[in-house]
Amino acid sequence: MKQLNKELEQLIETALAGAIARGDLPEFEIPSVPVSPPKRAGQGDLSYPGMSLAKLARKNPLEIANLVAATLPRADFIDKIEVAPPGFINCFLSESYLKQQVDRIIEEGEDFFQLDIGAGQKAQVEFVSANPSGPITIGHTRNAVVGDAMARLLEAAGYEVQREYYYNNAGNQMIVLGKSLLLRYLQQLGEDLDFPEDYYQGAYLVEIAAELAAEHGDALKESGWERFKDIAEARMFQWINRSLAAIDIGHDRFYNETSLFESERIWAVLEELRDNGHIYQSAHWEGAGAEEIADVAAKGYQPATWFRSTAFGDEKDRVMVKSDGAPTYTLPDIAYHCDKLERGFDIAVNVLGTDHFSQAQVVKYGIRALNMDPGPIHVIFIQMVRAVRWNEELGKYQAVKQSKRAGDFDTLDELVQMTSADAVRYHMLARSPNSQLDFDVDRVVKQSNENPVYYIQNAYVRCAGIFREAKERGFNDDGVDLSLLGEAELKFIRKALELGNVIEQAVTHYEPHKIAFFAGELAAVFHPIYDQVRVLHSEVPSDVAKARLRFYRAAGVVFYRLLRLMGMSAPERM
RNA sequence: GCUCCAGUAGCUCAGUGGAUAGAGCAUUGGUUUCCUAAACCAAGUGUCGCAGGUUCGAGUCCUGCCUGGAGCGCCA
């Protein structure tokens, strides 16, 4: 399917080049000017602001617009071109072209607006990346939904996409997890033991411990925490994957940070940084103030290994290897991204919470210090998400307490249980990632017309309903004459043809939420049409009914495509 | 203190430097003999945080300020 705004832009550029060649316009470099649908009726379907050229062409914008309109090459999708002050070039789409697109949409099916922007290119999306120390929380969920939608959109743009999950099972967290499970297990065996406050308090460890006790009795009693760490880790991953699968999310590859230690890759990276002159040994960083130095002295720090990230714009240098010889999190993170780049991804999207902002910056500095181009790496930062409820007494929203009490929830599982996988996905996606998200629990739970999830799905359901009914009545759209379609149906087709541009915008700006808003807008165009444009109705002549049936077939294809792009289901019935 | 993000209708939020700033919810009234009501139709709501600047044109870009959030460890 063609992206008409791009086609038109090219035609206009051709016309401009012609005008320059003929000497009607002075020599100038034609800029890329976005062609977009105007907001108001009567201004056509696509609009090009000719004013952008006035200064370059040193000519009145209205004159330029008229010149372009008069010499624009012919195209099958254009009905007419109008010029409007102060210099807009407005394009009206041809009705017959739009009607033909109904069959084109059906032909393309699930590949409707499958673009070739990324053809032959590899993209990676790294997302979730939660360490296996507990369940998927509401914050991870937003990360997961945004990351997966980004991956789907990249696929729609033609990229070959890999979904990756980066995790660390070697840190102190995991040791504590293992020890926590060991304690819970011993408690299950009846031992009266204190459970330290800084251990994992979650009830899930008690459950696992109970299962272990039931399955193995006291056979594991003599095992060390290492054994319990392994068990806990395996169980956590099972749980995480099951939770994600419940909202139709999965990863192609799990990348263990530990492998970077085993391969000694981190030390190779450190040596390369050192060779490039970006590493030094010191008890404090080179730019430390007197106060900082005194503080370090008071703590008695021995010299550590520093990366001079300030040379790349950082506000302070960062420790790579602590004075005790252990690397910080940053060094393997740099090595990991180095590895990513070497794997040859043209785009490497990284979905992170804003609490990783500084970390992500340092990684980019590290990449540059290795004389590599961090260009392919793009980070989508996800702002905080919290579950809220409307408090009638206070007249404002309040955060749902993150306690384990019944009715409160802070995990994906509980969220899905309270609402639905589709509702979770839609609401987590339908926000700009860099705005804080208040997840209104009651509203999402409500399965009513105030919930846009069902508004969109219902559009697909309605299409499916027509076909069920038509089949029962033995009616079909064979031998259809699409010229019988009316203005209402064309309005939908016009809107649907914007999908390609939406996908492109979402991909090039790394803003997957755009697809969610588009889906809502398209449903808002659809429902009034469905209300008026009936198919199986006594007053509708058979040939018109055939055309309309074909139209709803196309509409169903479009909604199916949209729902899948958002990772949502396309139910046949509500 | 420094860095980043946000501030748009009563609420939750969209908004590619372009034309008269939008949607949903909430509020009020209306709509179904025949696929449809989780829907449709109609009605009102704005100091786009404040002040400057750039531009033919600014909610959008720049500067400063105000408010809210996140980050600023030899944590991961």
Q: How far is CA A234 from CA A209, A244, A293, A295, A346, in A?
A: 14, 15, 44, 42, 33
Q: What pLDDT is attached to residue A405?
A: 42
Q: Which residue is nearest to nucleotide B26 (CA to C1')?
A: A450
What is the secondary structure of A314-379 as a DSSP string?
-SS-EEEE-TTS-B-SHHHHHHHHHHHHHTT-SEEEEEEEGGGHHHHHHHHHHHHHTT---TTEEE
Residue A86: how many CB atoms within 10 A of its CB?
12
- Going from N- to C-terminal start, the domains of chain A cover 4-93, 172-245, 450-565
Mean pLDDT in order along chain A per 10 residues (574 residues): 93 94 91 90 92 90 93 93 92 96 96 96 96 89 96 97 93 88 94 87 90 93 91 94 96 94 94 95 87 82 92 91 91 95 95 92 94 93 82 67 51 86 92 84 69 91 94 90 93 96 95 95 95 91 94 97 96 88
A277: CB within 7 A of chain B nucleic strand: no
- The per-residue pLDDT for A447 is 62
Dist CA A132 CA A170 (whole Å): 10
Q: What is the pLDDT of residues A431-470, one digit of tens each?
A: 999 888 887 777 777 665 568 899 999 999 999 999 999 9
Q: Is A534 within 7 A of strand B by CB distance?
A: yes
Strand nucleotide closest to residue A282 (CA to C1'): B74
> To 10 degrees, the CA torsion angle through A509, A514, A515, A521?
-150
Intrachain domains A4-93 and A450-565 with the same fold: no
Contacts of A316 (CB under 8 A, 6+ apart): A285, A287, A309, A310
Residue A552 and residue A536: Cα distance in Å, rounded?
Answer: 12
CB of A266 within 8 A of CB of A331? yes
User: Where on strand B do bases come within 7 A of a protein Cβ?
Assistant: 2-7, 11-16, 18-26, 33-41, 56-57, 68-76
* The pLDDT value given to residue A295: 82
A284 touches strand B (CB under 7 A): yes
Is-contact A168 A359, C-beta < 8 A?
no
Q: Which two tokens stand for residue A191?
A: 């031992």
Rounded Cα distance, A571 and A169, in Å: 39
Give me the A residues in range 103-142 that sit within 7 A (CB) of strand B.
Answer: 131
Question: CA–CA separation, A328 vs A199, rounded Å?
Answer: 22
Model pLDDT, residue A148: 97
Which nucleotide is closest to A462, CA to C1'?
Answer: B36
Q: Nearest CA to A126 among A106, A108, A146?
A: A146
* pLDDT attached to residue A396: 65
Q: Which CATH class is domain A450-565?
A: mainly alpha
CA atoms of A302 and A279, how far apart (whole Å): 16
Q: How would you write A194-241 as a 3-class SS string?
A: CCCCCCCCCHHHHHHHHHHHHHHCCCCCCCCHHHHHHHHHHHHHHHHH
Does residue A86 have a cis peptide bond before it, meaning omega lies within 30 degrees of 0? yes
Report yes or no: A8 and A72 within 8 Å, Cβ to Cβ.
no
A318-321 vs A304-307, strand pairing mode? antiparallel
pLDDT computed for residue A118 by the predictor: 94
Q: Which nucleotide is nearest to A358 (CA to C1')?
A: B71
The distance (Å) linking the CA of A52 with the C1' of B53 is 21
Q: Which nucleotide is nearest to A502 (CA to C1')?
A: B16
Whole-number Å distance, CA A569 to C1' B15?
28
Amino acid present at A326: A
Residue A434 beta carbon within 7 A of nucleic strand B = yes
Distance A449 CA to B36 C1' (A): 15
Q: How far is the CA of A310 from the C1' of B64 (A)?
A: 27
Query: What contacts A481, CB < 8 A, 6 or more positions away?
Result: A543, A546, A547
Q: pLDDT tens, A136-157? A: 988 899 999 999 999 999 999 9
* Window 514-533 of chain A: CB closer than 7 A to strand B: 514, 517, 520, 524, 527-528, 530-533
Right CATH for A4-93 from 2.30.42.10, 3.30.365.10, 3.40.50.300, 3.30.1360.70 = 3.30.1360.70
Contact present, A358 and A365 (Cβ < 8 Å): no
Give Cβ neighbours of residue A453 (< 8 Å, ≥ 6 apart).
Answer: A420, A422, A423, A426, A427, A444, A568
